[in-house]
Amino acid sequence: MMPAPDEVADPPPPPSASVGPAPAQPSATSRVARFRQLRTFQTIREVPSYRWYLLTMIGNMSAMQMQMISRGILTYELTGSYAALGTIELANTLPRLAFALTGGVVADRRNRRTVTQIGQTFNAAIAGALAALLFLDMLTFTHLVVGSVLAGISNSFALPARQAMIPQIVGVSRLSNALGLNASMMSVIRLSAPGIAATLIAFAGASWVFALMAVLYLFATVVLFRVKMLPDSETGTLVRQVSTQRGNAVADIAEALRYIWRIPVLRMLLVVDMFLGMLMFPYQRLLPGFVADILATNDDEAAINLGILLTLTGVGALVGALVIASIPNRNRGKLVIGSVVIFSVGLLAFSASDMMLVSCGIVLIMGVGQTGRQALNNILIQSSVSNEYRGRISSVMLFEDGIESLGIFAIAIFASVVGSPIALAVTAVMLLTLAAAMWFVMPSYRRLD
């Protein structure tokens, strides 16, 4: 007898696993639907201008990071001196110390996109000039120093403007996700682009690498025209108010410093970030000399091995960046401390290794730790800043980069006296000590979400 229409028949028993049909494979449509549900890529999906912004940022940052490692390789080949590596870093640092805060004022007063484009065009000209000197076999150490100084001046204005653009692209509601994606992408580029540059130098020559840098800078400049800014009503009134100010630049800088002093968490984040950078960045700056002395027997092998190590570091960075972009906004202070410990232990092991295969495994782990520290600390800082001060706070971070480079210069001088393995080991121990202080002495940092 047929059941009544309002009765519910028992569902049929499930088919036996041994005879039932195979589970359906996810279709392309379902995979796209799952991607749309991922919070990690929310801003990329919803804001076309942010996609263009990331593309231009990839071009600009890749060229910058390639230039840093390429200058280091050429400097060591020309001089064979760790002190010369430190001098190149110092030449790039002093202009940032002199102009970074002024660059933040310009970023808060002028059209940030235009300021960024002017800086990128100037950087393209610098890279093109160095490429021409390399093609003509006329490059000297002095040329590298001059190029570093000019790039430092240009980036003092372009980088704060670029960082401060993000709220005007994505609006307030998507700011945290956009900053997380931006910080993660920058961390990956910092650790992968140098490896690509070192490998290209080994196989194609430094002249072509500098030519590629010039192209990347110009590409970033052109693509930036596609980035559209939101109306002031969608980015908060503070952006509109600052864009119309025309006060004294010194007063604007002083106001930003008072703002930092009034917010203890922001002050703590900036100070800790400076010391962490001072101790974590020497690894990458001293790596060309370390590889040439410890892990290679000639210049070509050194360039190839350097490229491999930096590329593997970038792979680790990519893993760490994807994890960071996906995790909820909890326990980020603890995660920063954990990232520092991971990097420090890896650096200590790396300093003791003279085997290329072992070193490859170590740098994978170091990449996770370094991108974790960079991305998470940047997210915490940017999330603590009002739009009104974002350009100037970005310039304070750039100014801190200059102070960090003074530390890198000191560690480079130390490495020239005791050797790079001992210098890196001492740096690792100092980092572990700082991580312990962050956990036990600064509980407010540990509790940051």
Which residue intervals of 139-263 are DSSP H helices?
Answer: 141-164, 166-170, 175-203, 206-223, 232-235, 237-243, 249-262
pLDDT in tens, 27-41: 555 555 554 455 567
Note whether residue 1 is domain-resident.
no
- The tokens of 132 are what? 């021409």
Kindly state the greatest CA–CA separation across the chain.
Answer: 98
Sign of CA dihedral 447, 42, 52, 55: positive
Note whether residue 31 is domain-resident.
no
Note whether residue 12 is domain-resident.
no
Angle separating helix axes 206-223 and 175-203, nearest 10 degrees: 150
CB of 310 closer than 8 Å to CB of 188: no
Q: Which domain holds residue 294?
A: 42-229+237-446
Q: Report the pLDDT value the prediction gives residue 185, as an integer from 0 to 100.
A: 77
Note whether residue 73 is domain-resident.
yes
> pLDDT in tens for each of the 449 residues of the chain?
444 444 444 444 444 444 444 445 555 555 555 544 555 677 777 788 888 998 998 999 899 888 888 888 888 888 887 778 778 878 887 887 778 778 777 877 778 888 899 999 999 999 999 999 999 989 889 999 999 899 988 888 888 888 778 877 887 667 667 766 776 677 678 767 877 888 888 888 889 999 999 999 999 999 999 988 776 544 443 333 344 444 566 777 788 788 888 888 888 888 888 888 888 877 777 787 788 888 887 877 887 888 788 778 878 877 777 777 666 667 778 888 888 999 999 999 998 888 888 989 998 888 888 877 877 777 787 777 776 777 677 777 777 777 777 777 788 788 888 888 898 899 999 999 998 998 888 888 878 76
CB of 376 closer than 8 Å to CB of 446: no
Going by C-beta distance under 8 Å and a sequence separation of 6 or more, which residues neighbour residue 115?
106, 107, 157, 158, 161
What are the CB-based long-range contacts (under 8 Å, 24+) for 38-43? Answer: 38/326, 39/177, 39/326, 40/181, 40/322, 40/325, 40/326, 41/181, 41/325, 42/174, 42/177, 43/170, 43/174, 43/177, 43/178, 43/181
Note whether residue 4 is domain-resident.
no
CB of 305 closer than 8 Å to CB of 296: yes
Note whether residue 16 is domain-resident.
no
CB of 147 closer than 8 Å to CB of 248: no
Note whether residue 349 is domain-resident.
yes
Q: Which CATH number goes with the domain that contains 425?
A: 1.20.1250.20
**Number of separate domains in the chain:** 1
Residue 186: which of 274, 90, 78, 58 has the closest Cα?
58
Note whether residue 106 is domain-resident.
yes
| Cα–Cα distance, 272 to 266 (Å, whole number) | 10
